[in-house]
Amino acid sequence: MIGLRREDVPVAMAEEDGLEVRMAEMGDMMVGFLRFPEGADLSSALKGLPDDLCQCPHYGYVLSGRIKMRTKDGDHVYEAGQAYYWAPGHAPEPLEDSELVEFSPSEEFQEVVEHISKSAEG
C-alpha cells in the first residue's frame, strides 16, 4: 500500500501566480495535487490539443474553492466538497483560488503535461 501527502509529492509545474501541479504515479494512475489561482487562464496552455481541450479523463475531489469546467457541451461549476469526473474534452477556469486532488490515467495525463510544458517553453 502507498500513502501520499501533497508536500511529499514532487512539483511538476509551478508558476509565480500560484499555479502548482504535483504529480506521483500510483500503479497505472497518476495522482495530482493541484492549486489553481483565481482567474488563471489555462485554455491557452491547451491550444494545439484536439478541440484545444484537455483529452485526459480525471476523477477527483475539490478541496477548496470553485472551478468552472468548460466543455463543448456547456460549462459546469464544481465547488469545495464535491467529487467529480471530467471526461476528455474540457478546460478548467478557476473562479476562486482552488485546490484539488485528482486521479488520472498516467499515460494520458503525462501527454497533456508534456504538451503544456512545451507550450510554456514557447
Domain ranges for the chain, please list them.
8-121
Q: What does the pLDDT profile of the chain (122 residues) look like in tens digits?
A: 578 899 999 998 888 788 899 999 998 999 999 999 998 888 888 999 999 999 999 999 999 999 999 998 899 999 999 999 999 999 999 999 999 999 999 999 888 888 887 776 66
Q: What are phi and psi of 104, to 5 degrees?
A: -140, 150
CATH superfamily, region 8-121:
Jelly Rolls (2.60.120.10)
Residue 117 CA to residue 45 CA, distance in Å, equals 8
Q: Which of 60, 94, 57 is nearest to 77 (CA)?
A: 94
Query: 15: which residues sit within 8 A by CB, 6+ positions away?
Result: none
| Predicted structure pTM score | 0.88
Report the DSSP pairing between strands 98-105 and 58-64: antiparallel
